[in-house]
Structure 1
């Protein structure tokens, strides 16, 4: 079950990891159009998925029967984003209590909740702790009229004495998507919970990519430039740092691949035009890009800056390409989708600003798949351990009877 599905980034990743997505809930009409149209066209990652268009709080989750393996979702980030008003619990868009309520109703074996790194700011320390405890004990809901701080205090007391309620082992982790092969510097916090009766020995996946490995491939081995056939006069100058000297002597950490860059992601694409006449979906040039202080675009030979959805429209700098010669233009919707690792055959619906908003709000598909696959494999191992334990118990009982 997917809550706050947006354009589908997290849902696509969990499906690629092996989960069968049954229901996605989303209120935004453009996001729902994207999900519906891709499902109607037979896209395998969303085909057959039921789409609940509307407020998650209005859905009757009690009607869902059967065992649910996973609830996933990214509650609205505006209450905690550095670009918003940072109202936290006082912001009506705070959907963490709603997420806990859905978990209480469905009793999934596990959940994946994603949000902005701003949630972990010192100003939100108490509320972040409250969210974790609330997800640990979803059945201990707040009482009518009880403030979150009073509820938090009660949870802290009851947490120590709880024995039989629905409980989850919650693991919070802050990650940079670039360290997992996403061509974008995108810091996020994941809250992954596993039901306490499930014998899954899970930990967050290890990082696979690094900035050092990219620096080595660009400024020591030169492999990056040779692979992309970049002329010498268009290459990023070598930084004069002690770190680069260390890389020349020792190399990057073993088992780490270079960060993927904007060029890695979109270098194989043709330049866009205003008519979108190329072979790529959503690859239409959007005019009007301009650079100003704090909005200078993403250098082509580094991971992009975090794509933003914007509050009153799409901010220019984070969603612009900056070439080696300093020229800039907006990313097309398809280029932005590649930076978020959406499949090329997955179409984003709506005007440019709305499509970019869907992308900016999304979880990178590849990162979602990595996290969900690790969880999927651990749940499968937990099933295997449970079966082996049942067989051993049956065998011992049979021996005792004999």
Structure 2
């Protein structure tokens, strides 16, 4: 199956898409540092990116007519700053709002499916109308804005399109499923809430729902405070284990008296993520790429770091550099330090063999903007399975028609 990747950044979502079996026809990213990261890994022969046809530039300037193959999947995370809690919250008035460009590319390429990822802030009440506008544009890409038409007027036309029933006569419409997810529920060692907007072309008649969570906080609490398997797995002696928070006691008692869901795994923690890595200040850290101590970490109001035995707080790129609190580890003795680049990459589920290009601040920006590879893989795999099922059903019908004609 063939895919096109927009706003690729350092390649987190694109790697997840590749692991799901899609081959890239184009990987587009405008940021030079992120492109240098991909090119450096291609130069080193890193297999997940080796065959990527990388284009450094604006998606609006790419010659989409050069994509002659049928596109099975269009995937990408438009810049999140217009909607991010840490951004300027200007939405449609922000020049970095690339949702209109994304819809335009959907209209040109007519992919069988698309995956669009963005920050939780997109769903805030402040952006309610604009969020609906985005969803309706993706549902009806053949109803573009008219010349000089304001976005709200276009929204009203799209609402009429939805309620009038005229969409049945449209050649290109999509069944769109938006979902707010926590990456920790899918095995990512990070509490990272993101919106995924997944659409399938209506003519495929696909029934799809977002993949069920595979990991849970309750199962982590069982592992830590009921069975103790978590501490045993990490070789933490009883005398060195932290004290359970008083606020968790009633919940743990309830969990101890109930049966777990057999299919659930525990949330992965920072300790899980960085297991096997030496301290970034040690000499042994020299044997690992991108694993050096960055000095200067400190706690201040609203920036208290990530406890070792929980999933990390959301890694952030920051509007003016790296916000230290979110990208900082809190040890069990209360001491704090910045995550190294390699530790941050593990928290974002990038493979250890993948290295990053640029300064610490620039690299952390790439990581903070990335889609966790494991989460991208979970979503893309679900989409791939559905598209493969549709293709198999189509082939079966064709064989039945041939046999019937014979």
Range of TM-score over shorter length: over 0.9
Q: 1:251 Cα shift?
A: 3.8
- Contact in 2 for aligned 1:276/1:284 (Cα 8 Å): no
Question: Counterpart in 1 of 2:63?
Answer: 60
Deviates more, 1:235-244 or 1:356-365: 235-244
Q: Distance in 2 between matches of 1:375 and 1:134?
A: 21
Question: Counterpart in 2 of 1:336?
Answer: 344
Q: Distance in 2 between matches of 1:315 and 1:252?
A: 37
Q: 1:275 Cα shift?
A: 7.9
Question: Counterpart in 1 of 2:219?
Answer: 213
Matched, 1:155 2:158: yes
Q: Distance in 2 between matches of 1:274 and 1:55?
A: 42
Q: 1:337 Cα shift?
A: 0.2
Question: Counterpart in 1 of 2:98?
Answer: 95
Paired residues in the alignment total 398
Q: Distance in 1 between matches of 2:91 and 2:240?
A: 45
- Contact in 2 for aligned 1:14/1:373 (Cα 8 Å): yes
Q: 1:200 Cα shift?
A: 3.2
Q: TM-score, normalised by structure 1?
A: 0.96
Structure 1 alignment gaps of length 5 or more: none
Equivalent of 1:361 in 364, 369, 377: 369
Question: Counterpart in 1 of 2:199?
Answer: 193
- Contact in 1 for aligned 2:224/2:230 (Cα 8 Å): yes
- Contact in 1 for aligned 2:278/2:285 (Cα 8 Å): no
Structure 2 alignment gaps of length 5 or more: none
- Would the alpha carbon gap of residues 276 and 141 (structure 1) be closer, same or farther in structure 2, given more than 3 Å must change? farther
Matched, 1:178 2:184: yes
Question: Counterpart in 2 of 1:136?
Answer: 139
Matched, 1:29 2:32: yes
Q: Distance in 1 between matches of 2:43 and 2:284?
A: 23
Question: Counterpart in 1 of 2:266?
Answer: 258
- Contact in 1 for aligned 2:10/2:367 (Cα 8 Å): yes
Matched, 1:302 2:310: yes
Question: Counterpart in 2 of 1:225?
Answer: 231
- Contact in 2 for aligned 1:109/1:195 (Cα 8 Å): yes
Deviations 1:66-108 (A, max 9, x none): 1111110000111111111211111111111100101111111
Q: Partner of 1:318: helix, strand, or coil? A: coil
Matched, 1:71 2:88: no
Report matched runs for 1:376-391 at 5 Å.
Answer: 376-391=384-399
Q: Distance in 2 between matches of 1:352 and 1:311?
A: 15
Q: 1:294 Cα shift?
A: 1.0
Q: 1:277 Cα shift?
A: 5.1
Equivalent of 1:271 in 276, 279, 296: 279
Q: Distance in 2 between matches of 1:139 and 1:41?
A: 42
Q: TM-score, normalised by structure 2?
A: 0.95
Equivalent of 1:109 in 107, 112, 126: 112
Q: Distance in 1 between matches of 2:363 and 2:284?
A: 15
- Contact in 1 for aligned 2:279/2:285 (Cα 8 Å): no
- Contact in 2 for aligned 1:259/1:303 (Cα 8 Å): yes
Q: Partner of 2:404: helix, strand, or coil? A: helix
- Contact in 2 for aligned 1:139/1:166 (Cα 8 Å): yes
Q: 1:215 Cα shift?
A: 0.5
Q: Distance in 2 between matches of 1:308 and 1:275?
A: 28
Q: Considering only aligned residues, what root-mean-square deviation do their CA atoms show, in Å?
A: 1.4
- Contact in 1 for aligned 2:277/2:285 (Cα 8 Å): no
Q: 1:137 Cα shift?
A: 1.1
Deviates more, 1:11-20 or 1:242-251: 242-251
- Contact in 2 for aligned 1:28/1:53 (Cα 8 Å): yes
Q: 1:233 Cα shift?
A: 3.6
- Contact in 1 for aligned 2:7/2:78 (Cα 8 Å): yes
Q: Distance in 1 between matches of 2:130 and 2:208?
A: 25
